[in-house]
Structures are given as structure tokens and as C-alpha cells.
Amino acid sequence: MSHWKKKVTQLSLAGKGSIIYKSGRQSPKIGYVGPEAYDISDWIETDNYQPTTRPNNAYATKLTGSYVDLRVTSSRFGTYAPPRNAYATKQAIAYTTVSGT
Amino acid sequence: MPVYFSYHVDPDLYYDIEGLAAPITVNIPVGITNNEAFDLYFRILIKNPPTAWSNTSKDLGAISAGASAFKVFDPTRDLPTLTDGEFDETLTLRIEAYKDSGYTDLYGYAELETTIHFFDSLDSAWTMVDRDTFDDGTKEGWSAEDGKTADPSETLTVYSSPSADDTHYISAPYGLINGGVSDRTSYKDFTIGAYSKARIVIHYWLKSGYRIAIKIGDKLVVPRAIGEIMPKGTWVRVAYSLPVNATTRVRIQVNEANVCWLDEIRVIAK
């Protein structure tokens, strides 16, 4: 378990809807387009961790903006669930309605 | 705390009060995700609201375990008194999550500070850099480009080949209809010179059942998911900041032919 947590601290979105995963000995950070990287270190169960193995199915539902609902599935690792929490994200605009035809 | 509150794109908000009567409604969309194993009931409020504000707390209802949803917080306010055409007000928004529908068993909360930049787009303190009314029957520089260039995550075909049209408008006799050429997004480039600040005001009318995405420069300020929940069949006003000493492309993307009109696009600076 400690090995995984040491080597893989983040999984993140890179571009629309895709996840890039890195494993190996160097810092395994993965870029996420947005203001936040999403630290999922506390999601991971690492009993079967192998440094060279990639998750064979990683997907994310991007609600919008700076947070994601992300799960990683691997035949080797099993399915990992998000931490128990709640997120709110204020959107970029405020709107109103006006008169017109 | 197991609750987090952040912002999408920009911590600030922009709001044009031109022509509005008191009280004004400031509609603020908020996305919420419940990653808990049980349903949560959310409330949003303005912490220590200034006296000018009303309806400063709203129960948003339940979001099921594992679900996400967009909600709209819609506090109202007296018309702000502007100085040189503008007034900035900083608020602390607070999101609270409860375990019960009676909102008594608090699960957690989080706060977020946001500054609302109120202004009047027709106030003489601002220079009108560009104003598109389409009333001369032209497109006033609006065009279309290939693809879903505002929000590529749109799952349906988008349409544009804009032209002046008299079906819907704010200023008679024309607005700008989005058109019917598939896989096209409407856009216009706005150039702001040597000013200290600039704003853009966009008015759109979208037919019920469709959705819109708005991108200002590289900022997707209205993702399609937000455009989906915003009002339909009425004129909607959205405002945002524009960079100065720069040319910025503004993109309007709609997922059906001939369902969206634009009018009174105002770019102001000072």
C-alpha cells in the first residue's frame, strides 16, 4: 500500500474526458486542465500494486470546471471509489432576464 | 470538513444593471456533487448579507448519493448606486450540506468569497467600443467557424450561419439568428484598445428544449450543461470581463438550427 501511495499521488484529467496515468519511479503527477489537480491518493487500495501496470479502464465524469467525479478501474487493482465528501462549484457567470420580443 | 466550495473559471461575477428595475435578481448557477454514500440536502446562502440583499438563503433540495446536479442561487438586491458607472461588492457564499430534509443534521459546510462587479453598460462613464444591434440588417461582423469551438463536449450537432432576423429582438427590427449550417459555431472578434478594464454584455433568446455554450477567449463561461439549465423563450443577459489591449474571440454555440437569437451585444471599456 505504501508503495502505491508514494508513487501515485494524483490522477487527473488531461483534456476533455481523458485521463493520463503514469506509473513508475518518478513523481507520477498527471496534468489536469483546470485550476485544481484532483488528489485521489486516499482512494487507492494498493495491495496488488505493480509499478509498471496501468489501469485498464479509467474514466471521469466532468460535471464542469474544477472538479471531477473520477473512478479508476483495473483488473489488477479493482475499482476505486471517490472519497466521501461533497463539492460545490460556483459557475463563471451570473445571469438575468430582460424584456424583448 | 467534508464539503468543498470552489469556482469555475473565475472567482468574480459581472452584472449589467442597465434598464433593470429594483429588485434585481442575481442568478448564480452552482454545480454540486455528492460523493457520499447517502443523500444530502443542500442549502446555499450569503453569509452576513448586506442589507441591500433579500432572499439570501435557499434550500436546494436533495442530491442523491453519487449524483451531481446544477442548481441556481437567485438572491435579489436593491439597485446598487454606481460610481463612474460601476459598483463592486464582495460577498461570502456558503454551501451547507445536511443529512436530513428538515435541514437540522448538518453534514458539513464550506464558504467561497466572490466579488460581483455591477455596472451600467449605457452609463456615460464607459466608452462603447462596439454595440451590435443588427438593426441595419447586417451581421455586424458576426460569422461562423467550423466545429464545436465553444464547448467541444456538446454531444449533438451545432449549427450556425448567422443572419439578421425579425423574429426575436430587443432593439427593433432585428436580432441575429444562428442559422442552419451544421457543425458551425458563431463568433466575433472584439478588439479592446488601451483601456484599464472592459466588459461584454451578451443578450440571447433560446428556444425551449435546446442549449447554448458561450466561450469568451479561452474561457468557457457558459458550458453547455449550464446553458441547458438557463432560461428559455426569453431574453437572457450575461456579462463578463474582456481583456484590454487584446483581441478576443467570442463564440456562441447552439445545438439546433434557427433556435437562437442575439441582440444588443455591448462591449464597453474605460
Q: What is the pLDDT of residue B67?
A: 84
Could you give the CA distance from residue B263 to residue B201 in angstroms, rounded to a whole number? 10
Q: Is the peptide bond before B173 cis (omega within 30 degrees of 0)?
A: yes
With a CB-CB cutoff of 8 Å, which residues 138-157 of chain B face chain A? 152-153
Q: What's this model's pTM, rounded to 2 decimal places?
A: 0.80
Q: Do A98 and B9 touch (CB under 8 A)?
A: no
Query: Whose grid coordinates read 453547455?
Result: B224
Spatial contact of B32 and B69, defined as CB atoms under 8 Å apart: yes
pLDDT of residue B74: 98
Segment B217-231 shows an average pLDDT of 92
* pLDDT digit string, tens, across residues B184-208: 999 999 999 999 999 999 999 999 9
**Cα–Cα distance between B43 and A58 in angstroms, integer?**
32
> What average pLDDT does this structure show over B205-220?
95
CA dihedral of residues B189, B194, B199, B202 (deg, nearest 10): -20
CATH number at residue B38: 2.60.40.10
**Domain residues for B93?**
13-119
Best of B1, B3, B4, B8 to disrupt the A interface by mutation (most A CBs within 10 Å)? B8
Minimum mean pLDDT range among A5-9, A59-63, A75-79, B165-169: A5-9
Residues in chain B with CB shorter than 8 Å from the CB of A37 are: none
Show which of B119, B143, B174 is a domain's final residue: B119
- Residue B4 inside a domain? The answer is no
Contact B131, B267 (CB under 8 A): yes
Confidence of residue A39 (pLDDT cuts 50, 70, 90): very low
Any idea what the CATH number is for the domain that residue B166 is in? 2.60.120.260
Please provide the average confidence, as pLDDT, over all residues in chain B.
Answer: 95
Does pLDDT of A3 surpass 80? no
> How far is Cα B95 from Cα A89, in angstroms, rounded to an integer?
10
Q: Hey, what's the cell of B258?
A: 434557427
Residue at which a domain ends, from B119, B142, B161: B119
Do B137 and B247 lie in one domain? The reply is yes
pLDDT of residue A69: 40
> Which residues 45-74 on chain A approach chain B with CB closer than 8 angstroms?
61-67, 69
Query: What is the number of domains present in chain B?
Result: 2
**If you ran DSSP here, which 8-state letter would residue B54 be given?**
E
Instruction: Tell whether the model's pLDDT for residue B266 goes beyond 90.
Output: yes
Residues 6+ apart with CB under 8 A from B71: B29, B30, B32, B42, B44, B60, B61
Residue B94 included in any domain: yes
Contact across the interface for A85 and B226, Cβ inside 8 Å: no
Stated as kind and residue range, the H or E segment containing B229 is helix B224-229
Helix/strand/coil for B15: strand
- β-pairing, B127-132 vs B260-269, is antiparallel
Does A2 lie at the interface with B, CB-CB under 8 angstroms?
no
Contact between B265 and B202 under an 8 Å Cβ cutoff? The reply is yes
Residue boundaries of the structural domains of chain A: 2-80
Q: Give the model's pLDDT for residue B80.
A: 97
pLDDT of A1 above 50:
no
Distance from CA of A5 to the nearest CA of B (A): 21
- Closest approach of A25 to chain B, Cα-based (Å): 31
- Residue B257 in domain: yes
Residue % of chain A over a pLDDT of 70 = 18
